[in-house]
Structures are given as structure tokens and as C-alpha cells.
Amino acid sequence: MADPRSYLFVPGQRPDRFAKAAASGADAIILDLEDAVGPEQKDEARAHVASWLADGGAGLVRINGQGTPWFDDDLAMLACYAETAAMVPKAEPAALAAVAARLPGRPLLALIESAAGLASAREGARAPGVARLAFGNLDFSADMGMDPPDEGLDPARFEIVLASRLAGLPPPVDGVRVELEDAAGLTAEVRRKRGLGFGAKLCIHPAQVGPVNAGFSPSAAEIDWARRIEAAMAEAAGSAVRVDGKMVDKPLLEKARRILANIPA
């Protein structure tokens, strides 16, 4: 699997949940030092995350944003763990540059969650270290003063998908779903977001991981189709060819190869 399909948040002040999150089936866990942690628990949470990483635990770390009292300490801690990626909140170009300067060569997951972040998403996607974009749908809505249905944020999602494509990044990560006991609704949502060009989703509960992983994985029918397209195009030496009564050429071959590249290990 080239890129994670699911990213599960776990609060940094809850070390009892770190191992459970890692065993949840999520492709990646995000050790959260920001929104899930109250101001009085920031130092404690940072210490717990550092201990987990020092003991060989894996995960991305969502740091506190530039301009907060905890930003410098978060970066200083992460500088000690060279293999650990960072999620950057309010990922506007100045914030991304500041993190990249302190953590050179570190993969950054840029969280687009403000008007300024969306307006500069194409610049941010090309910033040093940025490995993938993610959509912070709840913070974005709050920043914009919006309270739309989920599909009302699709124009913002389109821009994030476009910025990712122009920068040569993997398909971006969609934001969280706050409903925790609606597997059918989550499955339908993931199907729609995949159709919009997203490749993963942020999760806030282990129960969300299974439907998210399944929804962002190619189905057996898709894999079969992709293999037949690839075989037919190879036999035709790259020329257009008829498969299942339809004309197939280079764009569909590229789609088939994307499907085959995302078969779970």
C-alpha cells in the first residue's frame, strides 16, 4: 500500500490508548498534541508522546500551531525523533516554512483548515517537506462562519484535490466524521469522497477504521477490471482496444494502474 487510507487520532494525554490505536487496523495513527489536549495538559501530553516514540512506538504527531505557546516545545521534542512525521495545523505557507526549517527533511501532513490555508493550498502543497494535504473540515467551517451540509464543502475539497494533483502529491485526506455509530453513513460518505478524488480519511474512533479502509481500497470487481484492462492494452502494444464492449485507451489504462497500485498488502 503506497499511502495510508486511514489516520486515527489518539489524544496525547492518553498513553493508555496509544497501543490500542496502533492495533486498531488504522494505516497510521496521529498522536495529537493540539485540539484533543487542554492547555493545562500540553506538557504532560508531549512527555507521553516522547516516551512512546523513544520506546519504538510509531505515529505521526499533530503539533500545536505556529503562534501558540507550545509550538517551539513541540518542534524541539520532534527534532529528537528523526523518523517521525508531523501534522501541521493551520497549514499556511509561513507555518509550513517554519516547521520545515526546524525539521528539515521531515514528511509533513499539511492540514488545510482555514480560509488562508485554502487560498494558498497550491503554494502550500509545493512547500518543502509537504508529503500530503488533509482537510480540516470542522475548523474550516468555523473559520468561514459556515454551517453547511457536508456536500456544501465540496468546492473546498475540489481545490485541495487540485492542489495535490498539481504538486504531484498523493490524493488528499478527507476530514473527520463526528457520528460514531453510523457505519452505513460512513461507508456512503467514503464512497462519495473517493469519487471526489480523495484517497484517505481522518478517523476519531477505532470503529471508523474498518469502513474507511474498505471504502478506500479497490473492490474485487475493480481489481479484476484493472487487470483485464492492463492485459488487453499490453497485448495491443499500447493501442486502443475494445474491452467489455467499450473502447479503452491510455486514460483508462492509467486508471487501471492506479487501482492496482492501491491493492492492500
Helix (H) or strand (E) holding 88: strand 86-88
Please name each of the domains of the chain with its CATH number. Answer: 6-215 (3.20.20.60), 220-261 (no CATH)
Q: Using alpha carbons, select from 214, 220, 179 the residue that is nearest to residue 200.
A: 214
Average pLDDT, the chain: 92
- Percentage of residues in the chain having pLDDT higher than 70: 97
pLDDT-derived band at 1, boundaries 50, 70, 90: very low
Tell me the pLDDT tens digit for each residue of 204-246: 999 999 999 999 987 677 777 778 777 777 777 677 777 787 7
Q: Which residues are annotated as a binding site for Mg(2+)?
A: 113, 139
Q: Which residues are annotated as a binding site for substrate?
A: 62, 113
Specify the pLDDT at position 265: 66
pTM tops 0.85, yes or no: yes
Residue 119: all three cell numbers together? 487560498
Tell me the average pLDDT across 52-72: 97
Tell me the pLDDT tens digit for each residue of 68-120: 999 999 999 999 999 999 999 999 999 999 999 999 999 999 999 999 999 99
Query: What does the alpha-carbon distance between residue 12 and residue 15 come to, in Å, rounded to a whole number?
Result: 7
Residue 125 reports pLDDT greater than 60: yes
Q: Which residues are annotated as a binding site?
A: 62, 113, 139
Single-letter amino acid code for the residue at 240: A
Query: What does the alpha-carbon distance between residue 33 and residue 71 come to, in Å, rounded to a whole number?
Result: 10
Specify the pLDDT at position 248: 74
Tell me the pLDDT tens digit for each residue of 85-98: 999 999 999 999 99
Facing residues of 29 across strands? 8
